[in-house]
Amino acid sequence: NAGVTQTPKFRVLKTGQSMTLLCAQDMNHEYMYWYRQDPGMGLRLIHYSVGEGTTAKGEVPDGYNVSRLKKQNFLLGLESAAPSQTSVYFCASRTGNTGELFFGEGSRLTVL
């Protein structure tokens, strides 16, 4: 089992460019999440989904959009990248209301 897979692993963007991060999970989990990790800030929730076709805002949703068209995939989009979005992004999934989060390996994004 691959678990949670994120692509790409690294990306460099110029300010104003757009991009999409893809998260795929093969565990048939209902819930999927996008977090960002910044120095001294821990993991902060951007958006999450409780099932196919649903999305909801987390703690820091501004500047990001998400889509969950298929149960196994959760896409994170940056419409117009800003240097403040330079971060490491983690996708996670879990099953049901209980249970821990399973994380991907992370995607490092640099916005110049």
Partner 1 sequence: DQQVKQNSPSLSVQEGRISILNCDYTNSMFDYFLWYKKYPAEGPTFLISISSIKDKNEDGRFTVFLNKSAKHLSLHIVPSQPGDSAVYFCAASRVHTGNQFYFGTGTSLTVIP
Footprint on this chain of partner 1 (rule: CB under 8 A): 4, 31, 33, 35, 40-45, 48, 50, 56, 58-59, 90, 92, 97-98, 100-106
Burial of 14 per CB tally in 10 Å (0-12, 13-18, 19+): exposed
Residue whose CB is less far from partner 1, 77 or 106: 106
CB of 90 to partner 1, least distance (A): 6
**Which of residues 5 and 67 has its CB atom nearest to partner 1 in the complex?**
5
